[in-house]
Chains A and B, each alone.
Chain A
Amino acid sequence: MTLTAIILFPLLGGVLAWAAGWKSAASARRIALIAAALQCLLVAALALRLRLAPLAGTASPWLAELRMPWIPQIGASFHLAADGLSMAMLLLTAFLGLVAVLVSEGASGRNGGGLHLCLLSALAAVSGVFLAADLLLFFVFFEAMLVPVYFLIILWGDLREDRFAAALKFFLFTQASGLVMLVAMLVLSFLNARATGQLTLDALELRGVPLAGAVALLLPLGFFLAFAVKLPMVPLHSWQPVTYAAIPASGGIILSGVMAKVGAYGLLRFVLPLFPAASSQLAPWAMVLALAGILYGAFAAFAQTDLRRFIAYSSINHLGFVVLGIFSMNGLGQRGAFALMVAHGCSVAGLFVLAGVMERDGGSRDMARLGGLWAAAPRLGAFALLLIMATLGLPGLANFVGEFLVLLGTFQASPRIAVLAALSTGLSAAYALRFMQRIFFGPRRGAEPAADLSGRQAVAALLLVASLLLLGLFPGTMLQAVNGVLP
């Protein structure tokens, strides 16, 4: 029941905020904030309970689950389940949801209630994705994530960008690849029914379906395509920079911090367990592709002058490491990928908070017109510095734990790729420091925002800083969470 509540509760909060929004944007925001905070508590309480008392003595890998018939004719059931990996992702989702609501632009006049409805329903959909143990249910939540993001871009996006083009591009890429995944799901279920006579779409029961011939490669590729677009992996990334540029900062936090991780989560949850043989066959290619993304993202990020596009390409760079770790096919690399998913979620959310502050009151996000901001906004500068250090993988901050383990795992799988990926961290240092230098150091140029971090934004920044430091120095609990899920 708690599992359903985790999905429904933000939705309820969103509807209430939307209703309140007709009267005043401020009360909508207050309600949304309370809902997001309660959601954090709810997920944290569940995580704590499961940690203290997992389902002992059962063969099931799930710590908690709920199963109800849904569409028996095609074998689909309403099956929610949580293990360590999904609990960790749920915690990240709720936490970044709180951060997003904290810094939301809700008071800007355009109906703040609707904005919060979109944010919170996006949270609900993502939570559903992390809980779904049935393929069709997963697909429904996976597609449901698109809708709020689409409206966030169209209705509350940056007026300086071509919002409609961005929203369309985002929708087309994810929708098209999602449909390919749906076909792969149905074919898999069909093949299973033919082999065993049992009609099911359950993720666990579909493990070990005998596959042969072209299907054995095409089916995993169908899943892979959808997740690669979500991450995104080069060369399927072209929706991402425009989307990051147009989306409001609060939506960007959820899109980049959590939804991008759905891609990596899908690889770990579905592609590897459903198609173990094909995965190890595809792994070298996936690693090469990941390396290409790492390098491409790093070079492109170095050349960007737009704050948002910088965030986009640096994300591509980092998520390449995540894919690299996943397809290293060993425990070190995959745990590193998991740690990096969480860490990058926090650090990229921080960059979006930063972007939100910079753009407040029409501030410029063109780095060529910024400079010397530290003097006027030392708190913002310190926050940015910490994010930049996390981005370039400074030990002591969360991202390092992920990168270190990913590289170690990759080194085991392929020393050559690991060396190249390690060398690319020199490039990430270069683009990260250039970002810092352009905005905060040097002489002032006049397009800088006037105000420092304050109020809610400062709270959000503090939360993110604390999580990056805690996860960087004491990653033990986080790494233990996926024991039993990953090798």
Chain B
Amino acid sequence: MLQLLWTVPALPLLGFALLALFGRRLPRAGVSVIGAGSVGLSAVASGLVAWGYITQTVPAAYSQCLWTWMEVGSLKVDMILWLDPISLVMILVATGVGFLIHVYSTEYMRDDADYARFFAYMNLFVGAMVVLVLAGSLPMLYLGWEGVGLCSYLLIGFWYDNADNARAAVKAFLVTRIGDIGMLIGLFVLWFSLGTLDIQPLMERAQLQWTPNSAVAVAATALLLCGALGKSGQLPLQVWLPDAMAGPTPVSALIHAATMVAAGVYLLARTHVLFDLAPAVQCVVAVIGAATLLLAGTSALAQRDIKRALAYSTISQLGYMFLALGVGAWSAALFHFMTHAFFKALLFMAAGAVILAMHHEQDMFNMGGLRRRLPLVFWTFLAGAMSLAALPLVTAGFYSKDMILWSVLSSPKGGFLLWAAGVVGAFLTGLYSFRIVFLVFFGEEKGHASAKPGPAMMIPLVLLAVLALGAGFVEIPETLGRVALFSSFMGVHAAEASAVLGEGTQQVLAALLALGGLAAAVVLYLLRPGIVKAWVATPSGAALQRLCASGWGFDALYGMLIIRPVVALSSLCRDDFMAVVWRAVGICAEGAAAGLGRAQTGRLRFYMAGIALGAVVVLALVVLL
């Protein structure tokens, strides 16, 4: 079974190749079969590989070398696939959730003129993500990493005739590219420090050769972190994610759930051995995570566009994952990644169903009362929102977020302040999740919702709703009866913990705050909507609302600090100021030619005088020297 590993990336890539070459000549049904089918088969292959992995007599990581990519001197970069619990979870989620999104897209994109192009990009996206997570060497990981970036660029700008979409696409590519450059330099540092770029040998050598917090460890991990911050939309590179909503909704689901944004979390989990050797950088990761989750949580509260609100919630949830990574709890981060993939894909696709029914209306204030028109969409969205808000006991989000919060509180690298940021975030999450639910599905009906979505859209929603609620039961904390399937599969064993609060106490507190958020949403958006309206009408309220709505003004800041100087410098270079030197040479030559040309008078007297003068000068030189 394990030998099938190469088909997991190969199938979506083959689907991409077929659609790219022949897509426009195929009928729609053919495109759907190839597009969704290739990812479906890839998911099946992942399942078989997982079965093969679990049923090994001696559980061990499996690697498959495909070919040697680059070989120069002692540098040898292989195209090598590496399967261990981390990459196994990642491919299962990427292909599984990816497949559901593809099925959903067959209906969502039904009337689009560029149906084949859409599926070609989507297949490439899944393929690149699988390459990323299965890569056994960092350059190959970078191949998938940039491939994912390319696909996000293509899909965000999918409806290219609107210049704004194209701009959002470019923004996504460039912002993540800035992080990627850091990551690339990090690769160089690793190569010269440890002499290899294969991930496993890298980890082993680092443990032997690096001392904790040494300059090289800090530099290398900080540079890798740059890449992760870009891809996972963390401070200060989070600005591309909200704008990435310009793409079709299934794209948002794919970017936010199964693929792109998970890449940063994956990179940090994959190289956690390196980060353990650089506690200073881990601390930075945790602080960035905490700051991001609060900033994005408040921003989500002020959005009108349903997709932008969900986008900020993604940034915020990724902040939780970084918080976990920062305290060394990488398995908790991966667990939250998994549950988040389920409920966020669900939320986006349900939102897509709403948007489609509302004729591409995305402003939540123009929606309302949709629970009667679209009951099934409502129930599935509610399941996703509950899981996002981490409502206690019945949702997957509760268990994964709880694991993060408890790790943060109990880990020596964490602490009370970081934990406090996490629980305040939990309150915000409850508030903004149910703000969306109440604005969209409750209240009076506005606008006119058309036909209900068909089975190709609804079946994935229902399946994901089940997962969003139930997937958390693979890991249940000690206080509630201890199931540790996920962390024992990851090979992580619970450490002896000591904290200012007991595990049970912190759970109750976090749960209460999440419920508090729900309660606040009930009051502010269901029972007394006047409170918010009145507050926003005051000058300070309006200012704060504007600040939050703009994502704390980062776009304006970067526009001033980075984009303006770059554009100014480039317009300075536009007319090639260095060429002026040569133009001056040309002008001198022409001037000299004109001057000397005047000497050609045609008068014999003048020439004779010249010759005589020349002879005198030459003779004088001969005599004198």
B is a partner of A: yes
Interface string of A371-383 (1 = CB under 8 A from B): 0101100100010
Say if the beta carbon of B495 comes within 8 Å of chain A: no
Q: List 6 A-B contacts (CB under 8 A).
A: A238-B576, A382-B20, A437-B170, A473-B69, A475-B70, A476-B68
State in angstroms the CA–CA spacing of A388 and B144 once bound together: 18
130-180 of chain B: CB within 8 A of chain A = 139, 142-143, 146-147, 150, 153-154, 157, 160-163, 166-167, 170, 173-174, 177-178
Say if the beta carbon of A175 comes within 8 Å of chain B: no
Checking B73, B146, B170 against A331 with a beta-carbon cut-off of 8 angstroms, the contacting residue is B73
Say if the beta carbon of B569 comes within 8 Å of chain A: yes
- Residue contact A427 to B72, C-beta cutoff 8 Å: no
Contact-size category for B = 35 or more
Provide the residues of chain B in CB contact with A412, threshold 8 Å.
192
- Residue contact A299 to B570, C-beta cutoff 8 Å: yes
Nearest to B197 among chain A residues (CB) is: A408
Say if the beta carbon of A429 comes within 8 Å of chain B: yes
State in angstroms the CA–CA spacing of A408 and B572 once bound together: 31
Say if the beta carbon of A237 comes within 8 Å of chain B: yes
- Residue contact A426 to B177, C-beta cutoff 8 Å: yes
- Residue contact A299 to B578, C-beta cutoff 8 Å: no
Known: A394-B146, A411-B192, A442-B163. 6 other contacts (CB 8 A): A238-B583, A299-B572, A418-B188, A434-B170, A437-B163, A443-B163
State in angstroms the CA–CA spacing of A415 and B579 once bound together: 30
- Residue contact B573 to A429, C-beta cutoff 8 Å: no
Checking A422, A440, A473 against B160 with a beta-carbon cut-off of 8 angstroms, the contacting residue is A440
- Residue contact B163 to A405, C-beta cutoff 8 Å: no
- Residue contact A474 to B150, C-beta cutoff 8 Å: no
Say if the beta carbon of A82 comes within 8 Å of chain B: no
State in angstroms the CA–CA spacing of A163 and B583 once bound together: 17
State in angstroms the CA–CA spacing of A425 and B177 once bound together: 9
State in angstroms the CA–CA spacing of A437 and B168 once bound together: 11
Nearest to A298 among chain B residues (CB) is: B570
Nearest to A331 among chain B residues (CB) is: B73
Checking A304, A415, A425 against B574 with a beta-carbon cut-off of 8 angstroms, the contacting residue is A304
Interface of B is mostly: helix
- Residue contact B72 to A299, C-beta cutoff 8 Å: no
Contact-size category for A = 35 or more
Nearest to A236 among chain B residues (CB) is: B582
- Residue contact B170 to A433, C-beta cutoff 8 Å: yes
Interface string of B206-232 (1 = CB under 8 A from A): 000000000000000000000000000
* Interchain nearest-CB distance for A462 vs B (Å): 10
State in angstroms the CA–CA spacing of A304 and B573 once bound together: 9
Q: Contacts A375-B161, A422-B185, A441-B160 given: A300-B177 contact, CB under 8 Å? A: no
Say if the beta carbon of A401 comes within 8 Å of chain B: yes
Checking B75, B146, B177 against A395 with a beta-carbon cut-off of 8 angstroms, the contacting residue is B146
Checking B117, B153, B178 against A426 with a beta-carbon cut-off of 8 angstroms, the contacting residue is B178
Q: How many A-B residue pairs have CB under 8 A?
A: 132
Q: Contacts A300-B570, A374-B160, A394-B146 given: A241-B173 contact, CB under 8 Å? A: no
Checking B117, B161, B192, B576 against A443 with a beta-carbon cut-off of 8 angstroms, the contacting residue is B161
Residue in A300, A332, A372 whose Cβ sees the most chain B Cβ within 10 Å: A300
State in angstroms the CA–CA spacing of A74 and B319 once bound together: 75
State in angstroms the CA–CA spacing of A412 and B73 once bound together: 14
- Residue contact B573 to A299, C-beta cutoff 8 Å: yes
280-323 of chain A: CB within 8 A of chain B = 296, 299-300, 302-304
State in angstroms the CA–CA spacing of A423 and B185 once bound together: 9
- Nearest first, the 7 A-B pairs at minimum CB distance are A303-B574, A238-B579, A441-B166, A441-B160, A442-B163, A300-B573, A395-B143
Say if the beta carbon of A335 comes within 8 Å of chain B: yes
- Residue contact B566 to A405, C-beta cutoff 8 Å: no
- Residue contact A302 to B570, C-beta cutoff 8 Å: yes
- Residue contact B166 to A422, C-beta cutoff 8 Å: no
Interface string of A229-242 (1 = CB under 8 A from B): 00000110110010
Nearest to A480 among chain B residues (CB) is: B71
Say if the beta carbon of A31 comes within 8 Å of chain B: no
Say if the beta carbon of A38 comes within 8 Å of chain B: no
- Residue contact B147 to A395, C-beta cutoff 8 Å: yes
Provide the residues of chain B in CB contact with A443, threshold 8 Å.
161, 163
* Interchain nearest-CB distance for A264 vs B (Å): 17
* Interchain nearest-CB distance for A230 vs B (Å): 16
Provide the residues of chain B in CB contact with A332, threshold 8 Å.
72-73, 75
